[in-house]
């Protein structure tokens, strides 16, 4: 299969990107400054991420669509306000996660942002579940960029006036070069920021303008360290079909209103796990010292019995030390529990910690 | 002091009497990206030519560090363990990894000189 390129490919090349194949796309893993500098620049200034490989699924419909989607997603979509977004998951009947996603209510229906590696399968699943009653477009003609970090609001607002008034997890249509762009205040770095859905032919121009205003392109490498410091899950690593949202410690994303009624795919298992507890659960793990415990690292208790496995682990540039997440048996999931991580045949001490590893201390509305 | 030699695993080695100083090349650091972790062999341990003698990790992945010659580890550079970013900053000088009392000087002859290594690095990275 031919490797796809996003509409920003030329710009990535102009910025000396190192490329890597990701989910069938040629994507920038980093630029000349490197992952650590890119990570810090995003935390301190503003970084632009090309996430055009992700799926932008528009589903058109009204009241019936809301009812049908509520049978699929554990969300109170009926009461979701227009242009507001929610984090959710597409589950199978056993509550195993097919994908995690962001769903936004638009004036014509819903926009769902899907993971690149899952989007075609998600589309198939949703089409079957919705019985082809609604027009569904997995839009290949639009690009998606994220701009993240404390300076992003001002930078983007200088180009597209009004975006700074958006609240977190809400969006709207704006205009750039007479093109309709859909902008949400969201992201996946633990920073304030926006995601911008824009026609392929205009994304290069917008991105170059953002760079001229002081933002910089950031690669997938820093995207990974940023999201891990923020305690956010990466599908295919921290989430997959063998894990449920309750096990993934994401029950905050399940609507209480919907739990009381059930009646969505996987609801039996979700309700059972919420009532009875789970045997394994996702936790943050902080290794002592500098040792990095990567995905598949085995986790042991103090009696040398394996109690789990790391699902994501790296060096966190803002934390200035190693960070990891993984699943452990529930009885070992309490904060500050001492565990051991087996790296290259040796056991290294670590402790269970709360997420995120890095939290922004915003001060808003001071001046 | 003899000329600096290079291995196909991207280590450099500088011999002073029977003590060799070993580190990784600038080219290696450019391939690896930001180095955030370094593990060195234990002082007093013996390492064999082409065997593992340490680990470096970037934010992306771990890579073994090999020793281009055999010998006994007589010193290690704690400074790069404490601050691995030094390896990116000055890989071929102050950010050396370990020193060996070498066993067999003839092992040095199997290694490349600078010109040959530069050529090798260019060919293998393209």
Q: What residue spans in chain A does CATH classification 2.40.30.110 cover?
A: 279-353
- Model pLDDT, residue A2: 87
Least confident of A344-348, A359-363, B19-23, B57-61: A359-363
- Read off the tokens for B77: 């550079």
CATH fold of A279-353: Elongation Factor Tu (Ef-tu); domain 3 (2.40.30)
Residue B59 contacts A, CB cutoff 8 Å: yes
Residue appearing with tokens 């920021």: A193
pLDDT band at B60 (very low <50, low <70, confident <90, very high): confident
CATH number, domain with residue B47: 2.40.50.100
Q: Decide if B126 is inside a domain.
A: no
Q: pLDDT for B29-38, tens place per residue?
A: 999 999 999 9
Give the domain extent around B38. Answer: 5-120
In chain A, % helix, strand, coil (3-state, to 5) comes to 25, 35, 40
Q: pLDDT for A164-177, tens place per residue?
A: 999 999 999 999 99
Contacts of B101 (CB under 8 A, 6+ apart): B18, B19, B71, B72, B74
Per-residue pLDDT averaged across A7-26, rounded?
97
In total, the C-beta contacts within 8 angstroms joining chain A to chain B are 41
Which residues in chain B have their CB less than 8 angstroms from residue A30's CB?
33
For residue A364, pLDDT over 80 is answered with: no
A145 contacts A9 by C-beta, under 8 angstroms = no
Q: Decide if B13 is inside a domain.
A: yes
Q: pLDDT for B66-124, tens place per residue?
A: 999 999 999 999 999 999 999 999 999 999 999 999 999 999 999 999 999 999 999 98
Q: How many domains are there within chain B? A: 1
- Model pLDDT, residue A362: 52
Choosing among B30, B40, B59, which should be mutated to test the A contact, i.e. which has the most A CBs within 10 A? B59
Q: pLDDT for A42-85, tens place per residue?
A: 999 999 999 999 999 999 999 999 999 999 999 999 999 999 99
Task: Give the Cα separation of A225 and A227 in Å (integer).
Answer: 6
Q: Decide if B110 is inside a domain.
A: yes
pLDDT band at A360 (very low <50, low <70, confident <90, very high): confident
Task: Give the Cα separation of A65 and A130 in Å (integer).
Answer: 8
Q: Would you say the C-alpha torsion A340, A346, A348, A353 has a positive or negative sign?
A: negative
Angle in degrees, CA A355, A89, A148, rounded to 5: 55
Residue A20 contacts B, CB cutoff 8 Å: no
Which residues in chain A have their CB less than 8 angstroms from residue B60's CB?
29, 35, 221, 314
How many Cβ atoms sit within 10 Å of the Cβ of residue B109? 8
Which residues in chain B have their CB less than 8 angstroms from residue A292's CB?
36-37, 57, 62
A99 contacts A23 by C-beta, under 8 angstroms = no
Mean pLDDT of chain A: 96
| CA distance to A112, A138, B73, per residue, from B44 (Å) | 59, 61, 5
For residue A41, pLDDT over 50 is answered with: yes
Q: What residue spans in chain A does CATH classification 3.30.1360.120 cover?
A: 1-276
Per-residue pLDDT averaged across A256-277, rounded?
95
- Model pLDDT, residue A366: 40
Q: Decide if B20 is inside a domain.
A: yes
ipTM here = 0.85
Task: Give the Cα separation of A107 and A61 in Å (integer).
Answer: 9
pTM for the full predicted model: 0.93
Q: Does domain A1-276 have CATH number 3.40.50.620?
A: no
Beta strands in A17-118 (DSSP E): 18-22, 25-30, 47-50, 55-60, 85-91, 97-106, 109-114
Q: Decide if B125 is inside a domain.
A: no
- Model pLDDT, residue A365: 43
């Amino acid at each position: 299969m031919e490797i796809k390129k996003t509409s920003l490919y030329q710009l990535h090349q102009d910025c000396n990107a190192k490329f890597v194949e990701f989910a069938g796309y040629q994507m920038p893993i980093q630029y000349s400054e490197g992952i650590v500098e890119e990570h810090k620049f995003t935390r301190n200034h503003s970084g632009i991420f090309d996430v055009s490989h992700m799926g932008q699924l528009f589903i058109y419909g009204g009241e019936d669509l809301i009812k049908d989607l509520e049978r699929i997603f554990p969300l109170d979509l009926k009461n979701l306000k227009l242009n507001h977004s929610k984090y959710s998951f597409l589950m199978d009947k056993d509550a195993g996660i097919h994908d995690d996603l962001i769903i936004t209510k638009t004036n014509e229906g819903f926009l769902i942002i899907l993971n690149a590696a899952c989007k075609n399968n998600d589309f198939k699943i949703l089409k079957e579940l919705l019985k082809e009653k609604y027009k569904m477009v997995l839009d290949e003609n639009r690009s998606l960029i994220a701009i993240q970090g404390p300076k992003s609001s001002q930078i983007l607002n200088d180009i597209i006036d009004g975006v700074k008034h958006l609240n977190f997890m809400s969006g709207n249509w704006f205009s750039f070069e007479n093109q309709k762009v859909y902008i949400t205040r969201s992201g996946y770095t633990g920073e304030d920021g926006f995601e911008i859905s824009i026609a392929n032919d205009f994304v290069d121009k917008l991105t170059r303008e953002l760079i001229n205003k002081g933002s910089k392109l950031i690669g997938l490498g820093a995207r990974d360290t940023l999201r891990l410091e923020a305690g956010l899950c990466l599908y295919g690593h921290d989430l997959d079909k063998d894990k449920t949202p309750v096990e993934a410690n994401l029950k905050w994303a399940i609507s209480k209103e919907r739990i009381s009624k059930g009646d969505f795919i996987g609801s039996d298992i979700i309700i059972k796990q919420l009532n009875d507890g789970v045997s394994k659960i996702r936790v943050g793990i902080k290794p002592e010292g500098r040792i990095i415990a990567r995905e598949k690292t085995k986790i042991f208790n103090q009696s040398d019995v394996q109690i789990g496995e790391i699902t994501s682990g790296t060096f966190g540039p803002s934390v200035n030390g190693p960070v990891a997440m993984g699943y452990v048996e529930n009885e070992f999931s309490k904060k500050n529990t001492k565990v051991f991580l087996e790296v290259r045949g040796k056991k290294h001490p670590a402790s269970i910690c709360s997420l995120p590893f890095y939290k922004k201390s915003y001060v808003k509305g001071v001046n | 002091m003899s000329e600096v030699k290079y291995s196909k695993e991207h280590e450099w080695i500088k011999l002073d009497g029977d003590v060799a100083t070993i580190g990784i090349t600038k080219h290696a650091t450019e391939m690896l990206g930001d180095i955030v972790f370094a593990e060195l062999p234990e002082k007093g341990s013996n390492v064999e030519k082409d065997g593992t003698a340490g680990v470096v990790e970037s934010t992306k992945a771990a890579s073994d560090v090999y020793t281009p010659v055999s010998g006994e580890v007589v010193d290690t550079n704690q400074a790069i363990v404490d601050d691995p970013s030094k390896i990116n900053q000055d890989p071929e000088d102050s950010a050396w990894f370990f020193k060996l009392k070498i066993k067999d000087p003839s092992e040095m002859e199997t290694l490349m000189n600078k010109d040959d290594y530069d050529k090798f690095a260019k060919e293998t990275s393209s």
